[in-house]
Structure 1
């Protein structure tokens, strides 16, 4: 019998009864440590049901700013229907008796967090084994599911399940406090173009931002502008996935942007002494950034997602461009038309942005429809294999330069960034200066008041 009991105990998932009791005891002895514990532990981190019920009671009391002591906790347990006449009162007293001091609550919390981590890893390993044994999924699918689950654990998030609004409210308050304390003009990452930042509130976490234009309008240049600014000033890692240009071409473009040395000179190598000095200074500045470049031209969303999960402190993902990607599953199904494939890719990109919790800037080609119109400014219906892309994106921006179509135009090197969809505000047009020799965009210096 003893052997059977031992085997049953071994089947239990990792937990520490003593640490759970010590944390609860500390909170009851000294309510001053409650905010620190609430910040670090969720109710599901407690493995023993009785401990979890007590913690849930304290957690909800804290959210309503109620006084926390043994009497009020017992009263709230009674209201919540988790009070046991014969057990609860004695157990609360026992918790306080067995906890030597609240001074070590940080160590007790660390033990619980470690046990929770081990349980999540064990659950994931069990689920993966079950997927393999069922034999219905390919190795690639199982690997993708495993990476997704492990990434969720690493980020401190549960891979699935409903979240009570009380937990979300705490996160929202933290975010509001962070924004209130910040000196930044916009809540998201800056694009480096002030007028554009104000129009779209910067590049915000979990957003899918689509930048679309006809070939030759400067999509890649705009994306590299944004990447360079984020790489230099955000302090985070920024990743650029280029399906069209090589790493060397991209870095030449970045050097041109940073050094203001004519791009043609860099391509031909015809540089004078002053140019070399500027290039050296630009290379030094680029060297200090955490810009990551991938020029694999056969990449899928799943590949990008897997690569980005391994990047420490990721701040932004840029993809150039959507129509060149292989389908979300990495394999084209023979019955699928291109519209369905692009629809799958755009949906997967939005899911990736939410999972990685970073802005994803994706470039897209436009159809030729605008070229047959008198007014050649792009609109949402011009998106190639449209529909799903327009629906999934949080922000859709178009680039348009009148002098591209009309060489004699007065608006020489004036570019329009047309914000056609914006979940964070209004749709409008932002005027930018196009500097072709440096393949870069800049804000227009306002010399008159706008009405």
Structure 2
């Protein structure tokens, strides 16, 4: 069933409804879901937030790749990153999720919503330390076997602490680390809100939100998502 609007817009509508009708957000979400033909928001989300490419992304990545996964909120970039880790586990690879956004419990809940998530999700290592940075990631993955897959959530707050190096310096260091170790590093990234007014079908590198300077050609591949479309492209 096709939705009347992207999920992130439906969520905004629910938040506005919760404020105007003075009801809990979960009730507002359910009401919006019912307008879309679902009995509850959980059913709508389970069918429309799981966004997977036709060809598993892992098979299109090489050892040492630096991957950018970018989309506006609610278009599936986090779930795609988690699916990448599940695919790595299925191939008996080490898989690690570094997140500055979610707790371990929240992350596991999202993993369990994916195909085979309940069966394989416990094998994904989840790291939620506030100290996550390039140096932290490299120390944590030191000695990991070639082909290890790690997802970093998310790019724009990697250098949120002033004591850490700038974003460009951190990504450059991680690029060198990935090439030397054969570890695949994927970064979840935000897309600037101005993209929605441009009328393009999918975002591109020019739409990546960059509060701090960063050479995007440091990435070897980029995956863009929007309205259930996915495109993987070579960057450098």
2:74 counterpart residue number: 216
List alignment gaps of at least 5 residues for structure 2.
1-51
1:308 counterpart residue number: 141
CA shift for structure 1 position 259: 5.6
Q: Are the counterparts in 2 of residues 366 and 384 from structure 1 also a CA contact under 8 Å?
A: yes
Cα 1:388–1:324 change in 2 (3 A) is closer
Cα 1:389–1:246 change in 2 (3 A) is farther
Larger radius of gyration: 1
2:42 counterpart residue number: none
List alignment gaps of at least 5 residues for structure 1.
1-191, 261-281, 334-340, 402-414, 424-451
CA shift for structure 1 position 201: 5.4
Counterpart CA distance in 2 for 1:235 and 1:330 is 37
1:418 counterpart residue number: 231
Counterpart CA distance in 2 for 1:311 and 1:346 is 19
Once superposed, what is the RMSD of the aligned Cα atoms? 2.8
Cα 1:371–1:193 change in 2 (3 A) is closer
SS in 1 for 2:55: helix
Match for residue 187 of structure 2 among 340, 362, 365 = 362
Cα 1:326–1:422 change in 2 (3 A) is closer
1:319 counterpart residue number: 152
4+ residue runs of structure 1 moved beyond 6 angstroms? none
Match for residue 234 of structure 1 among 75, 91, 103 = 91
**CA-to-aligned-CA distance 1:174-208 (integer Å, 9 cap, x gap):** xxxxxxxxxxxxxxxxxx855354xx852211110
CA shift for structure 1 position 393: 0.4
Structure richer in helix, relative to its length: 1
SS in 1 for 2:60: coil
Asked if 1:331 is matched to 2:157, the reply is no
CA shift for structure 1 position 248: 0.8
CA shift for structure 1 position 311: 3.9
1:382 counterpart residue number: 207
1:392 counterpart residue number: 218
CA shift for structure 1 position 326: 2.3
Q: How does 1:170-185 map to 2 (within 5 A)?
A: none
CA shift for structure 1 position 420: 4.4
CA shift for structure 1 position 348: 2.0
Q: How does 1:16-415 map to 2 (within 5 A)?
A: 193-195=53-55, 197=57, 202-231=60-89, 233-258=90-115, 282-283=118-119, 285-287=120-122, 289=123, 291-311=124-144, 315-326=148-159, 331-332=163-164, 341-375=166-200, 377-385=202-210, 388-401=214-227, 415=228
Counterpart CA distance in 2 for 1:383 and 1:222 is 17
SS in 1 for 2:186: strand
Aligned length: 184
Q: Are the counterparts in 1 of residues 76 and 225 from structure 2 also a CA contact under 8 Å?
A: yes
Q: Are the counterparts in 2 of residues 209 and 361 from structure 1 also a CA contact under 8 Å?
A: yes
TM-score by length of 2: 0.68
Q: Are the counterparts in 1 of residues 97 and 151 from structure 2 also a CA contact under 8 Å?
A: yes
